[in-house]
Structure 1
Amino acid sequence: MSEETRPASERPVGERIAKFLARAGVSSRRDAEAMIAAGRVALNGQAVSHPATFVAADDIVLVDGKPVATPARTRLWRYHKPSGLVTTHRDPEGRPTVFEKLPSALPRVISVGRLDLTSEGLLLLTNDGALARLLELPATGWIRRYRVRVHGAVDPARLAALARGATIAGVRYGPIEAGLDSRKGENAWLSVALREGRNREIRKVMASLDLVVTRLIRISYGPFQLGLLPRGAVEEIPARVLREQLPKPAV
């Protein structure tokens, strides 16, 4: 019998500890499960051995011996990521990171997906790891839109064919909407939209069309737009807007 089908009196109290850690902004749910497996998480002084362990209101959760604060209300920010920053909290190569450049007044946040070093534009940030995971899933159905500058000979027919998906180096990519906006000599601007957003997907797909991406700007992620947000600026999305736009189970 699943938790959902049990009588209310028999259901565990609280929420799964991996989800608790994600909502507290400690990590994503997947990373929280890895931390549990590594023995880094304790509940009321006892090591946690399974991510299905439940946390109640008065429980004390420790990660690496340090207490984890009760998750704050879910918040979401728009950030205009400049080129030249990596989307990670700590870079082994010592490159500047997104999180080093954020205002110190922000709480600890994680990104919803990533933009690579030379990509720019809209990056959503949240204090809730469970929300980040939800919004990254293709099943959520949110479209990510980009303006892409490429160098090379653009074939509109080959761009249109991407709507059927593409297989590149043995990797299957889902449907991509791509169209030519303008062209000047060997340079062109494209509009690109996709739902998956795999690692360097647009660059790899364009390379398969003999096009080199020279600039990539994300202009929207689902219902949230980059708009006129200045480069490097952060703006919180109002709680009312967040409630209206998110899938109901995420709020």
Structure 2
Amino acid sequence: MAARRKADQLIASGQVMVNGTPAVPGQQVTPGVDRVTLDGSPVEPVSTSTYLMLNKPVGVLTSVGDDRGRQTVVDHLPPGPPRVFPVGRLDLDSRGLVLLTDDGELAGRLMHPRYHVEKEYRVVVRGRPDDAALRRLSEGMIVRGERFEPAEVRVLDGADGDTRLSTNGKCAGCGKRLAIRCSICSACASMGFSLVSLPKATSVHSGRTR
């Protein structure tokens, strides 16, 4: 990489190519999509941002601080990294994957509804939901005055009287998944199943954790 003036000189000399075509000043490129070369050698972007994944425990706030002195996700990070913030939120009583970064542009893309970033939750309930119960969850229902939107619900496995489900459902009233715990709790309770555990399994396609 080079300073702006030096980069302009390299472009003007025809040494910089984008997808095999000479670059022009001010040209926009997409990292990971467009191929940029300098004198025939690939040019890789240098990222100065920080990206961390945390398996948030139950009882920890998804926040950078708390005026009541409660533990936050930042308290569980190793010392020394740049100031980062959580992308989205995970309920106090839930556990699972939380992404923390100082990349505001990425955070905006992940959180804005227009990009439709899916989040998956592994729900453990007491008992074994039958096909009718799973169909009700999949088709959507009214929960505490809010509509629980249609969601993909899959049975993963079961043991000791519990059943592990996978769902990407959300509360339609808030348009987000911030109320996912109360929604799923109420939905399951309305059908006679108590919620044992609700870990968030995936987020922004970063991977899985249990």
Residue-pair matches, total: 157
Please point out which of 52, 70, 95 is paired with 1:95. Answer: 70
Q: Unpaired runs of 5+ in structure 1?
A: 1-71, 229-251
Show the counterpart of 1:223: 205
Partner Cα distance (2:169, 2:146) in 1:
16
Describe the shift of the 1:206–1:178 C-alpha distance in structure 2 as closer, same or farther (beyond 3 A): farther
Show the counterpart of 2:140: 165
Map 1:68-87 → 2, pairs under 5 A: 73-87=48-62
Partner amino acid, structure 2, of 1:191: S
- Maintained 8 Å contact 2:143/2:186: no
Partner Cα distance (2:152, 2:185) in 1:
12
Partner Cα distance (1:180, 1:226) in 2:
17
Q: Secondary structure of the residue that 2:80 maps to in structure 1?
A: coil
Partner Cα distance (2:77, 2:178) in 1:
23
Q: Which structure has the higher relative contact order (CA within 8 Å, separation 6+)?
A: 1
Map 1:19-58 → 2, pairs under 5 A: none
Partner Cα distance (1:203, 1:187) in 2:
19
Show the counterpart of 1:207: 186
Partner Cα distance (1:150, 1:73) in 2:
42
CA RMSD of aligned residues (A): 2.6
Q: Secondary structure of the residue that 1:133 maps to in structure 2?
A: helix
- Maintained 8 Å contact 2:50/2:82: no
**Cα shift at 1:109:** 0.8
Partner Cα distance (1:161, 1:86) in 2:
31
Identity %: 32
- Maintained 8 Å contact 2:140/2:148: yes
Describe the shift of the 1:182–1:126 C-alpha distance in structure 2 as closer, same or farther (beyond 3 A): same
Partner Cα distance (1:198, 1:91) in 2:
21
Partner amino acid, structure 2, of 1:225: G
Stretches of 4+ aligned residues off by more than 4 angstroms: none
Partner Cα distance (2:157, 2:90) in 1:
24
Q: Unpaired runs of 5+ in structure 2?
A: 1-46
TM-score (norm 2): 0.64
Partner Cα distance (1:74, 1:201) in 2:
30
- Maintained 8 Å contact 1:110/1:132: no
Partner amino acid, structure 1, of 2:95: E
How big is each residue's C-alpha offset from its partner over 1:167-225, in whole Å with a ceiling of 9 and x where there is no partner? Answer: 22221233221122233454221111247652231442342232332212222113210
TM-score (norm 1): 0.54
Structure with greater Cα Rg: 2
Partner amino acid, structure 1, of 2:64: H
Describe the shift of the 1:221–1:96 C-alpha distance in structure 2 as closer, same or farther (beyond 3 A): same
Partner Cα distance (1:101, 1:205) in 2:
27
